[in-house]
A and B are shown apart, each in its own frame.
Chain A
Amino acid sequence: MSGVVAVIDYGMGNLHSVASALEHVGADKVLVTHDAELIRQADRVVFPGVGAIRDCMTEIRRLHCAQLLADALVEQHKPVLAICVGMQALMTHSEENDGVDCLDIIPGEVRYFGNPLVDDQQQRLKVPHMGWNEVRQCMPHPLWRDIPDMTRFYFVHSYYVDAVDRSLLAGSVQYGVSADAALARDNLFAVQFHPEKSHTAGLQLLRNFLEWNGQC
């Protein structure tokens, strides 16, 4: 039983696909909401995000998402999944939009991929990092269940996460640099890629999230 999944809606972009993917893999009920009470009552929380970080952070602060996340993570100890800009917003600071302070829930920086960006054969790499790339699993975790190491997930981002505490690294991706693809800490799992757009592997990760009790 997945119970109720609250997808935090802070007004940035389309959350339809996250919600429909969660329903597809058997979520009992998915609420796309920023209502604090509904989020408190939910059994699990998804913190998504697309778009530019400054606008996201403006809305995140306006809707007091920091408190919602703190309640879910620390006080209620519920499983929380952060996706893409949702993951970036958890960090200390982002280089995007001339520098934006983020939530500092996980210490670390969100950095620009750089221009020019090249691979180890000095081939030029395009930015944004857009498409299917291999994720190296850096720790065993319930959310990786039934997903082979080096499975491809769908990414689309120009800035990448670089967490300070490397023991939190659950997955990494190579794109000119080694970027943090997934971070795990207690009942929080954060991914840079889009599981809701990553076909069978992404759906498996969401299924694992619905079955996760928040323990590592």
Chain B
Amino acid sequence: MGLAKRIIPCLDVENGRVVKGVNFVDIRDAGDPVEIAIRYNQQGADEITFLDITASHEGRDTTVHTVEKIAEQVFIPLTVGGGIRAVEDIRTMLNAGADKVSINTAAIHNPELVREAAQRFGSQCIVVAIDAKRVDDVDGKPRWEIFTHGGRKPTGIDAVAWAVRMAELGAGEILLTSMDRDGTKNGFELGVTRAISDAVEIPVIASGGVGNLDHLVEGITIGGADAVLAASIFHFGEYSVPQAKRYMAEHGVEVRL
């Protein structure tokens, strides 16, 4: 027995409402983020991740307020991501009550932000989010590239090499989302999960594609992830967090019950 693998429900929030899209389109309303966060806290979730997909500035103020309300009532770690561009944004979210902040596109534009943030606030609160898509080499060897703009824009950056670099710059954790799988319910892209998990010393959270409880188990046992993140299977009541944990425990994964 030892450190438990973590189950992390994810709230994708737009203009103060939890939404979840299939491949980031066809967005479906799932409710109030504060109520949902409290429900997952009561269910025994190990952490909660809050991804703000609101584009506007006005929406960002709503997000800060929502994070404050969640932090007052939820006593498990809370990660906030989406729209984090500068050290100031990180400070705002930490002051609002976030424990960790997830940096995505801004790290691609300015990798030094990760170093600066880790030095300033400590690696433990800096998560680097990587959105990867499979783009095989000409010889058919699997390779994954980082995409931005909800998976539409290629960057030419190799996802595994990028994860290694982010860890060197001081990231404390990697949140890896497969853009091929996100919203599909076909399971994690286990190849890239394994490749990144093996390549870095820091914990890796697998994300994108969970449709059933076997997928959660596979993310850990085959993908080598330290934590699994899922949204829609929990939001729409298909499975509860305790149900997911019991299933994982029955399949040999150490969890906090």
Q: Which residues of the partner chain A approach B44 to less than 8 Å between Cβ atoms? A: 199
Chain A, range 152-200, C-beta contacts under 8 Å to B: 152, 154-158, 174-175, 194, 196-199
In the complex, B178 has a CB within 8 A of chain A: no
With known contacts A130-B226, A132-B3, A174-B2, A13–B122 Cβ distance under 8 A? yes
Interface membership of chain A positions 50-68, coded 1 if the CB is closer than 8 angstroms to chain B and 0 otherwise: 1110000000000000000
A126→B226 contact, CB < 8 A: yes
Residue numbers in A under 8 Å from B77 (CB-CB): 154, 156, 194, 197
Q: Most A CB atoms within 10 A — which of B41, B97, B124, B256? A: B124
- Nearest chain A residue, comparing its CB with the CB of B118: A52
* Cβ-based interface call for B83 (8 A): no
Main SS at interface, chain B: loop
Q: Is A202 located at the chain interface by the 8 A CB criterion?
A: yes
Q: Which residue of chain B has the shortest Cβ distance to A116 in the bound complex?
A: B201
Instruction: Please list 30 pairs of residues, one from A and one from B, whose beta carbons are closer than 8 Å in the complex, sorted by A's number.
Output: A14-B94, A14-B95, A14-B99, A16-B95, A16-B96, A16-B97, A20-B71, A20-B72, A50-B122, A50-B124, A52-B119, A52-B122, A128-B123, A128-B124, A129-B3, A130-B124, A130-B172, A130-B203, A130-B226, A131-B227, A133-B2, A133-B4, A150-B1, A152-B256, A154-B77, A156-B172, A175-B2, A197-B75, A198-B76, A202-B75
Known: A17-B97, A119-B2, A131-B203. 17 other contacts (CB 8 A): A13-B94, A14-B97, A14-B99, A16-B71, A16-B97, A17-B75, A51-B122, A128-B202, A130-B124, A132-B46, A134-B1, A156-B172, A175-B2, A175-B3, A199-B76, A202-B75, A203-B75
Interface residues of A (CB under 8 A from B): 13-14, 16-17, 20-21, 24, 50-52, 115, 119, 125-134, 150, 152, 154-158, 174-175, 194, 196-199, 202-203
